[in-house]
Structure 1
Amino acid sequence: MSKKYAVRNIRLCTKDCLCLYVCPTGATDTENSIIDVAKCIGCGDCADACPSGAISMVPFEYPPQQSKMEAVVSALNVLVHSKSEQENIAAGLPGKLAIAIGKSNHIMAEDIIREAGYMLPQSENAMAFLQSILDKEQPEGFPKEAVEKLLKALNENEEDKIMGENKTLDNLMAAFSGEAEANRKYTAYAKKAEKDGKMNAAKLFRAAADAETLHALKHFEVAGKIGSTADNLKDGVAGETYEYKEMYPDFVKEAEAEGNKAALMSFTFAMKAEEVHAGLYQDALENLDQTEEVFYYLCPVCGNIEKNIPEKCSICGVPGNMFIKY
């Protein structure tokens, strides 16, 4: 998922200000009406709420422009000059038809310029064009300093963006891990509070656990880590395979060597369950287009998952009637 941020077209804005109420970070609430990119998390709520269509979501990183042969670019440049000349001719003629023809040629020229790769300031063609201006001798009075300043700013913005994105991505993933861990921790605390009969504390822990889940999911989404369902299933296979083949075997050996029977059982159950999970993910991937509904049954003790209710769990021996249906 390409990361995006919101921009406002002042000319289209009708001052309905719905964006101020839906923005979770306050990025739209600025004195100059320019959305604060530093605060924007790319959720798109403001764009969805804007009744005048004044807010758009644009990507931080534009895809590379389609490469074109030099002959194609040259032909496009000739067309641009032609459309510009026709627009100028129409501007000197009276009547509504001339105005319409002028606007039509202007629109076509913009499309051609875009196809030639000069519309976006961060495109390689635009950067090369600015550099070519500096490399060539220009007539007296030409604002060469302005071109240098623009080119320098574009290069610095690109460098800052890359550095900022790398650091922010690391922060998002660190926050995701922290929030996910907190969710599991608070869930465990809730179960303990319920056993102790402290129901108010249990409810608070469960509410907090759900809150941490919301945070974790948003961080993961903004980090662009949610792919297609097929990609997500492949990631599931890879993650579970790593755990049962590489991570847990070492943990089992160490727990066994230290004589920690509780940890040994916990690691062993998890290792066997992860192998089952990897197989289920692979099966789901291979049958992704299947429309027939499938049910899954979870063992509440070891985390084993079956597609049919077993007599007892094949990993920990829990009776099948205790399995939870999904």
Structure 2
Amino acid sequence: MKQGLCRLEKSVNFIDEFSAFSVIGDPGCDGLGAATMSIFARALAFPGLDFSIIAGDIVPFGSKQLYDNVREFIETLSVSPVYTLCGNHDTEFFNDYFGKRIYALVNNDILIIALDNSNRKFSPASLEFLRTVLAEHARENIMIFFHIPPKNSFSANSMDATSWKEFREIYLPYKHKIKYFVCGHVHSYFEGLVDDIPLIVTGGGGARLEFVSEKIDKEHEKNHLVLFYLDAEKCLKHKYKSLENLEYPKELQDEKLAAYLQKAFVNECVAHFKYRYYSEEARFRGLDGLSQLLKALSDSEYYHARNHSCVLNELKSLGCALEASIENESYEINTMYKDYMEYAVKNDHGLAKYTFWDALNAEKVHKKFLEDASAQYAQGKDIAVADYYTCSSCGFTFKAEEHPKRCPVCGAPQDKILKV
């Protein structure tokens, strides 16, 4: 099979035997920024796949530039053939870039049917194709893909009930062979049953996750793909696969590129800090217009740094981040600031001693806060909501029921202690 994006010209496409394939849901509807695309990259590069199917919402809206961008991205990164499903964000130009919206993939073991319900209804062409392809190519394993899910107990964001009734009349005679209905659209992951047929809704391939129901397993509230495979008896099975701590290492194998990314990340972090600092300075001087501009630039540089960090594979799951942060705080307390302080004192660098001392005291508090938070998170719990304050003079962090009157480290007055 062809590697990369498969632009289908035929309605019925015969494919090779396979071991496994993946379904990637909704990678692009929240924008094609690098943070989003880094999740999509991990999905496209997932090992051991014979092909992938994107379950719709590949672009945020119908712009040829966005279609060009995502087509090039898929062609560059995918390690196996990629088929596409039309989502409600993809309607304009979909056929030009991806080919048929209504099609089937078939071999001796499986029939995969892709239908278009991107406007919440199945078109007459979809229903007629379904009737024909089931009659002519039914297999022991049948999967039916469509972007917007039917009525379910998890999310009200579903397709038209009347259209589903028409669809149901066609598939019911083949119910015993239909192993899955697969949808995207809802940025979550859940499983259900429709006429005793498993329904899988997967929208975790890059878009911002939605927390749609308390009934959803907390372990599934992550970016993910769904792996499908045939067992020893040629029966179709599936597995949920988290993308949370998976890395996309290919580009970092280029040492020069990795150095460029690291330098760009550091420069953006510095720029973020400087623009924020000068925004505060402008506001103090009554220059509200300039302050607002500098704040906007500071925010922009933050997102640039975040995107570079995503490409560098430096952002991990929240649990891993808490553990790593505790280790970093311990290093700063026991080694870094300890050594820096000793050097500053030994060489009579009083000003440097001040800034190291202020930071050291704050890091001790940070470590305690993070340890408490990590312990709760490990049990699947949140910490209690509290009022936090930061001293804008030395950076000390408080948790207090009342606004502190003085900073215990630098002595700053109450108006210098800011509520978070």
Describe the superposition over 1:160-218 as per-residue Cα deviations: whole angstroms up to 9, x where unpaired.
94764665555433322221111112223334445566655544433322211111122
Structure 1 pair 27–203 and aligned structure 2 pair: CA distance change class (3 A): same
1:4 aligns with 2:42: yes
Higher-helix-fraction structure: 1
Query: Do residues 18 (structure 1) and 61 (structure 2) align?
Result: yes
Alignment-derived partner of residue 412 in structure 2: 318
State the match for 2:89 in structure 1: 49
Q: Conserved in 2, the CA contact under 8 Å of 1:252 and 1:264?
A: yes
Q: Which residue of 1 aligns with 2:271?
A: 182
Amino acid at match of 2:302: T
Larger Rg: 1
2:388 — aligned with what?
Answer: 296
Are residues 320 and 283 of structure 1, via their aligned partners in 2, closer, same or farther at CA, if it must alter by over 3 Å?
farther
Deviates more, 1:298-307 or 1:182-191: 182-191
Distance 1:84 1:29 in 2: 30
Q: 2:407 is paired with a residue of what secondary structure?
A: coil
- Is the contact between residue 5 and residue 37 of structure 1 (CA under 8 Å) also seen in structure 2? no
**Superposition pairs for residues 135-146 of structure 1, below 5 Å?**
none
Sort the Cα spacing of 1:97 and 1:246 in 2 relative to 1 into closer, same or farther, 3 A.
closer
In structure 2, how many angstroms separate the alpha carbons of the residues matched to 1:163 and 1:115? 38
Q: CA deviation at 1:292?
A: 3.6
Distance in 1 of aligned mates of 2:134 and 2:289: 75
Q: Distance in 1 between matches of 2:258 and 2:89?
A: 27
Find the counterpart in structure 2 of residue 28 from structure 1. Answer: 70
- Which residue of structure 1 aligns with residue 146 of structure 2? none
Counterpart residue number, 2:76: 37
- The alignment yields a C-alpha RMSD, in angstroms, of 4.9
1:281 aligns with 2:281: no
Matched-pair contact (CA < 8 Å) for 2:252–2:258: no
**Percent identity between the aligned chains?**
24
For residues 97-140 of structure 1, what are the alpha-carbon distances to aligned partners after superposition, in whole Å with 9 as ceiling and x for unaligned? 98455x337989x8359989xxxxxxxxxxxxxxxxxxxxxxxx
Could you tell me whether the CA contact under 8 Å between 1:248 and 1:267 is conserved in 2? yes
- CA deviations over 1:284-324 (Å, ceiling 9, x no partner): 11223146422212111111112114442221122346422
Q: Counterpart of 1:239 in structure 2: which amino acid?
A: N
| Structure 1 pair 231–299 and aligned structure 2 pair: CA distance change class (3 A) | same
Structural mapping, 1:129-208, within 5 Å: 161=250, 164=253, 168-194=257-283, 201-208=290-297
Question: 2:363 and 2:234 mapped to 1: Cα distance?
Answer: 50
AA aligned to 1:111 is L
State the partner residue of 1:214. 303
State how far apart, in whole Å, the 1-side matches of 2:282 and 2:91 are: 48
Q: Could you say what secondary structure the match of 1:302 adopts? A: coil
Among candidates 335, 338, 352, match of residue 246 of structure 1: 335
Following superposition, the deviation at residue 256 of structure 1 comes to 2.4
Partner of 2:208: none
Q: TM-score, normalised by structure 1?
A: 0.55
Using the alignment, how far apart are the partners of 2:344 and 2:366 within structure 1? Answer: 23
SS of 1:298's partner is strand
Contact 2:59 2:89 in 1 (8 A): no
> Structure 2 counterpart of 1:299, which letter?
C
- Secondary structure of 2:368's aligned partner: helix
Q: 1:111: which partner in 2?
A: 230
Which amino acid is 2:42 matched to? Answer: K
What are the ranges of 5 or more consecutive residues in structure 2 without an aligned counterpart? Answer: 1-37, 46-50, 78-85, 99-106, 112-131, 144-178, 180-228, 236-248
Gaps in structure 1 of 5+ consecutive residues: 39-45, 57-82, 88-94, 117-159
Shift of 1:233: 1.2
- Taking the aligned partners of 2:385 and 2:318, their CA distance within structure 1 comes to 17
Alignment equivalent of 1:235, drawn from 295, 315, 324: 324
Aligned residues of 1:299 and 1:313 also touching (Cα < 8 A): yes
Query: Per the alignment, in what secondary structure is the counterpart of residue 247 of structure 1?
Result: helix
Determine which structure has the larger strand proportion and give its number: 2
